[in-house]
Structure 1
């Protein structure tokens, strides 16, 4: 038997016998000034902790949209001409025991209207409800047109005034839009400003949501019920859910702590690791506050992720120290040994994580770019808290002697016993042989093929009605269902902008083309109806000729057409551009599902390509559905770009680390298969790829590559020292295999509690990330040895060294690699034994 114990780092029980000037300059700088390192980190913790308390939670409508996309630039350029067709909130007040023609109901509606009108961020000039004078009725009489506000000027709640109100509602034609089809509720349309004019700062959606709850929802009684929908309310509910999510963060901490404690059986070192992992989160939140960022509800996974990554890297450091202490080495010396062994591997893994998250910056959606930046900053912080602070703190606190000795005994029992762990270990090592390797690779090919077949059907965008960010049973989605059921015109509006020269919106040809586009869109599945100024002019023209339906047409006579347009503009000013440049064509959609939006976009693009001219151009897209359709387009395009850039960057870093293209292939294939299976899982769970779920891919790949880095670094190092593939992988498995398993379980445990989150998209990410973390771990442990058989075998696997290797024992493979003359000693022993 070849005994490789002599090649271990020397066991030093007394730190006085250790040369403190050994190691590289960085190790000496850190460990020869440990108190300074701890004090410096303590001061940073106090500063960032205080700053974290002032970190605001908010988002904005513009952060959710791809602002540089041509369709969004069209909307932003002409936003003033499309007031109310972007970010708006709708409030429906319902009479649960009667209809809207009730004095108490109308007085309650008035209170709601007045409260909302005075809220900060409301675009008051374009707000519409029964109680705003801008919502008007018109009728044709023998004397011509006459009209007025829907609520009579001298309304007093008497039966006569109620009759007039009923008549005015019918004249205004607002049943189905501002009044429910069953006449039991009415709607207040509230367009919002992106910038609060009172403060000059972005609109605070959290504050607005709280105002809506305190000043509007609080007006509910036994007979009055309030329903609120819109982006502002979604964000408000997400922010409210964010605070309850903190409880799930606590569950994640407890589960991860329990797993690490079960592995180490050392309470004090486990608590130290958890403390340092939480420290990384505190530093990140404080740094965001210092840099002027806000905590976005759509970036809620970042603190969870930083905690899980920090704990997993810390567990690797503690494992190395525990092994050395178990052999009799002093905790200070063990900490320095571990720093030498794992600093470069840990630094490389964290840099790969940073790159994996940083590539999200290429996606042209501000909220994802902010997430990329914050996650990269968080991982960069871990370089200090994990690679420096944890070894320094463990050099003082150490690990319990009982836990250290137990870790050595467990390793020996696994290598020599017949436990399930030993059988698993033997099975994994056998994957370096031809037949098992072929079966493993064939199984991976079958899984990948099945995943491609299913994942091919993955869709981009929302797949369910309402707000997919929230649970189907949430109050918001119940409100959406109520509005959809009781109102004829959908809140999902897709707006096409017909652009003409100034004062050209009343040209006959332009109005005719807008009318034809409306007719084409109405034929599409998922489109309820359409409306444009052409429809308004047609109705107004008919009114000018005593309501004769034969005159429901667009007049060719310019003066008649202009007269009808001006009269229409008085009733519907929100649909008229004061410069007469933009003519909106509004398609009311039955839902905002991905397939519906894609059909509308394709139809409008085809129509625009065929009928646009130099003086008449059809532009996409405004309205909530139009903006979401554009976002889906960017997400779909970025999805494939993200894959190419992400895997390219990871491949480059792996090549720099391994200096072997075959090793890069071995490292990447498990990650690619996991991504394929993740897409298949999204199809089976009916989860679409959108802003909230797109980052999952980068997170899964950026974190998953850690397993390959640790396993292959040890394996390739031992192979370069002349050992066979089987023994090299055995050494890698014995040294980092268990910790790879612990990391996979810890990472998955950190996100599993998300499944019960009230925020639906966070629950979806919890399922997907748990799957990716576990499958990346399994894929690395199974496919790395199998693929290595075909790609990474060396001459040592074909010569007489195999007999020697079969009986060799490796207590500390990294010591073999780090020993200055380890390679020479190993070669001599192999030749002598042979």
Structure 2
């Protein structure tokens, strides 16, 4: 029967007997995949960011053609000095409207502003109704009386707060986006669209007198993509810092260069494979190559550390490399396999952007198995270490031994009990604190960007000056054909809307019923007493007939009518409150022929995403820990060995969630994967330490001595890895992207505390689980 040791021995013989062939294969694959990596593009489509199989999104997709989607753009054109009724402003507004209309990817039928023919006013006159476009066809912006006429029409149209700001200093141009670019026939490139908006709208028309403010998903993604370009700078800084620390650790320029090169090769392979599979990099997964580089360095350090120790024992570099390959193939392979499977557990989350992150990270870690466990020892076997190499470590080794002897005290029964008790207290605190963690964004504006970013400042201005924003949610009322002509149906919609308008967090609302009441009052000399829904069907039809389908308040056969709720913000608490109210109130009005369906609009998408994240949180944790437990059981063939590795990981994951509540970081699409990433990478420390301890324990060596010898062999590499990884991601706190800063803080915490868990809590647990060997 072929045992694991025999299989590793066979691989070692095959690899090191054909070193040049192995290097030639790696070189050819690196050149090929390197070329493929140059073809990789940023990809940030709207549908990747939403859980398409969620019930809310099923409703959203079903009615998207009739009522548009949540992917819209708002452009607020503002006069810095006075109100909008001047020639310069209206000339600029017209240019903005026309320019936006002709940008590829904009749904031209859905572009609306004061200049749109569909923007009309209606007034009651002696002969009945009179009305027309807010801006007449013969409008002359240089004519003062024409401007005054437009002011009157704006007030009559009832669009103050929606298309014109409350203080008359801004006017809105609203547009919806297409999924397909009509010029290319391909999926709309939102990042390219955002660049066009910046150059062709803001760049051309903003000046000392006029300011332009643009918000919407596509613009936000564009700003995130621009911020993500800074990742290249952080990547360069990480390479420099890591290279310096590897040199200080290894005392060899050759080993430092080889470690860095192999880790960079793993990144090149990862990006090349992504291109071959037809994937792109979105702004969130653009951080993954950095993590792959960091993981590669951490495992590379283990390899060069093992080579260095064997050389100092008297072996040649080639023999030392072979020995390092044999000794690290199993623990390194299991650790990297645990990382890979841990990242794959993110596939349970039904959001495209997270699934692509899972695939991207898994490919990268799988590649490291080849580049760092095969390529690195083969390359190392060719280097030459000088005669003074051993002398560099004499004093260092003596100092380290004293330190390791002191640290091994954690593996005594007395100290082990103290450490475990402290860990239980921390766990209880973390569990209590993590219970307060909220799902979704906890701050105003786009959570991916800092509050001071231009996008968020534009959002705050529009929210302040207008009664509507992109923070709206549509409850789609489905009924029978021509249901809008039924008084009972319309009354149910009106009552539901009134109750929802009074829910905390709802700023304003509009529906077919509320507009029909205004029209009915208009038929009765504008008397407010007649602002009701007519019980007579003919009168009701008369009121509804004046509301076109282009208003977005009804579909073609009047069987679907949205109730649009404009929210104060999109904070997690606000969304949860409003959705809970919808679910509660709709029960009072729903019948077999009348359904109130959630949800459309940007906040509807956020609500679905928050629920998807909440639903995936626990399964993701079960899967990631289940995968780690299974692989540890297969590797160590011992339940207590598995528990010794996994329990510190679980403690750290709970403490990380507690840290999120303390720092006011919500569980979102960007922060949810951090826990899985932290666990996947953190398990490496414990596996490397325990794999050495296990060998010693099988020889009946006492626990403390086994831990001491494990520290001698792997301790410096584990400490170095934890510190290096933490320093690398800690630079993210200076990022222009808030979500990268949040990820950097959380990953720094998890890297450091997982390392501490491996060198403090793991031996403490071992001292109790193997108490007979004290």
TM-score by length of 1: 0.90
Q: How does 1:411-810 map to 2 (within 5 A)?
A: 411-415=397-401, 422-423=402-403, 425-569=404-548, 573-794=551-772, 796-797=773-774
Q: Secondary structure at the match of 1:391?
A: helix
Q: Deviations over 1:617-644 (max 9, x none)?
A: 1110111111101111111111111111
Question: Does residue 135 of structure 1 match 2:119?
Answer: yes
Distance 1:727 1:33 in 2: 39
Q: Deviations over 1:113-170 (max 9, x none)?
A: 1111001111111111112212111112122222222112111120121111111111
1:25 to 2, 7, 10: 10
CA drift of 1:716 comes to: 1.4
Contact map agreement 2:417 2:768 (CA 8 A) in 1 = no
Residue equivalent to 1:164: 149
How many residue pairs align between the two structures? 767
Residue equivalent to 1:226: 212
Q: Deviations over 1:453-512 (max 9, x none)?
A: 222211110000001100111111111111111112233101111111222233222211
Distance 1:538 1:588 in 2: 19
1:37 to 22, 32, 40: 22
Q: Secondary structure at the match of 1:109?
A: helix
User: Structure 1 residues 744 and 23, CA, compared in 2 at 3 Å: closer, same or farther?
Assistant: closer
User: Structure 1 residues 633 and 152, CA, compared in 2 at 3 Å: closer, same or farther?
Assistant: same
CA drift of 1:408 comes to: 5.4
Residue equivalent to 1:824: none
Question: Does residue 79 of structure 1 match 2:64?
Answer: yes
User: Structure 1 residues 166 and 340, CA, compared in 2 at 3 Å: closer, same or farther?
Assistant: same
CA drift of 1:439 comes to: 1.1
Q: Deviations over 1:5-62 (max 9, x none)?
A: xxxxxxxxxxxxxxxx997221122111111111111111111211211211121111
Question: Does residue 338 of structure 1 match 2:316?
Answer: no
Distance 1:765 1:529 in 2: 35
Distance 2:557 2:360 in 1: 43
Q: RMSD of the alignment, in Å? A: 1.5
2:357 to 371, 376, 379: 371
Residue equivalent to 1:269: 255
Residue equivalent to 1:307: 293
CA drift of 1:226 comes to: 0.6
CA drift of 1:428 comes to: 2.3
CA drift of 1:342 comes to: 0.4
User: Structure 1 residues 23 and 197, CA, compared in 2 at 3 Å: closer, same or farther?
Assistant: closer
Distance 2:172 2:493 in 1: 28
1:150 to 134, 145, 153: 134
Distance 2:491 2:584 in 1: 17
Larger CA deviation: 662-671 vs 590-599: 662-671
Q: How does 1:250-265 map to 2 (within 5 A)?
A: 250-265=236-251
Q: Deviations over 1:185-233 (max 9, x none)?
A: 1111111112222322211112111111111111211111111111101
Distance 1:732 1:490 in 2: 60
Q: Secondary structure at the match of 1:322?
A: helix
Distance 2:558 2:361 in 1: 46
Residue equivalent to 1:104: 88
Contact map agreement 1:58 1:239 (CA 8 A) in 2 = no
Distance 1:491 1:379 in 2: 39
1:287 to 273, 294, 301: 273
Contact map agreement 1:305 1:750 (CA 8 A) in 2 = no
Residue equivalent to 1:117: 101
User: Structure 1 residues 290 and 574, CA, compared in 2 at 3 Å: closer, same or farther?
Assistant: same
Structure 1, unaligned stretches of length 5 or more? 1-20, 416-421, 798-834
Q: Secondary structure at the match of 1:126?
A: strand
Q: Secondary structure at the match of 2:561?
A: strand
CA drift of 1:401 comes to: 4.5
Larger CA deviation: 394-403 vs 269-278: 394-403
Contact map agreement 2:342 2:623 (CA 8 A) in 1 = no
Residue equivalent to 1:184: 169
User: Structure 1 residues 730 and 546, CA, compared in 2 at 3 Å: closer, same or farther?
Assistant: same
CA drift of 1:789 comes to: 1.6
Q: Secondary structure at the match of 2:59?
A: helix
Q: Deviations over 1:533-567 (max 9, x none)?
A: 10011111111112121111111111211221120
Distance 2:274 2:7 in 1: 38
Residue equivalent to 1:3: none
Distance 2:124 2:411 in 1: 88
Larger CA deviation: 546-555 vs 140-149: 140-149
Question: Does residue 243 of structure 1 match 2:224?
Answer: no
Distance 1:152 1:511 in 2: 33
Q: Secondary structure at the match of 2:485?
A: coil
**Which of structures 1 and 2 has the bigger CA Rg?**
1
Structure 2, unaligned stretches of length 5 or more? 1-5
CA drift of 1:396 comes to: 1.0
Distance 2:613 2:368 in 1: 30
Distance 1:51 1:140 in 2: 67
Residue equivalent to 1:16: none
1:204 to 189, 204, 217: 189
1:46 to 6, 31, 47: 31
Q: Deviations over 1:260-297 (max 9, x none)?
A: 11111211211221111111111111211222111100
Contact map agreement 1:152 1:164 (CA 8 A) in 2 = no
Distance 2:102 2:632 in 1: 58
CA drift of 1:726 comes to: 1.3
Distance 1:595 1:93 in 2: 31
CA drift of 1:788 comes to: 1.0
CA drift of 1:301 comes to: 2.0
- Write out the 4+ residue segments of structure 1 that deviate beyond 3 Å after TM superposition: 398-405
Contact map agreement 1:269 1:398 (CA 8 A) in 2 = no
Distance 1:414 1:474 in 2: 48
User: Structure 1 residues 289 and 400, CA, compared in 2 at 3 Å: closer, same or farther?
Assistant: farther
Distance 1:23 1:560 in 2: 86
Contact map agreement 2:501 2:508 (CA 8 A) in 1 = yes
User: Structure 1 residues 114 and 399, CA, compared in 2 at 3 Å: closer, same or farther?
Assistant: farther
Residue equivalent to 1:812: none
Q: Secondary structure at the match of 2:106?
A: coil
Q: Secondary structure at the match of 1:754?
A: helix
Contact map agreement 1:693 1:765 (CA 8 A) in 2 = yes
CA drift of 1:569 comes to: 2.2
Contact map agreement 2:231 2:287 (CA 8 A) in 1 = no
Residue equivalent to 2:3: none
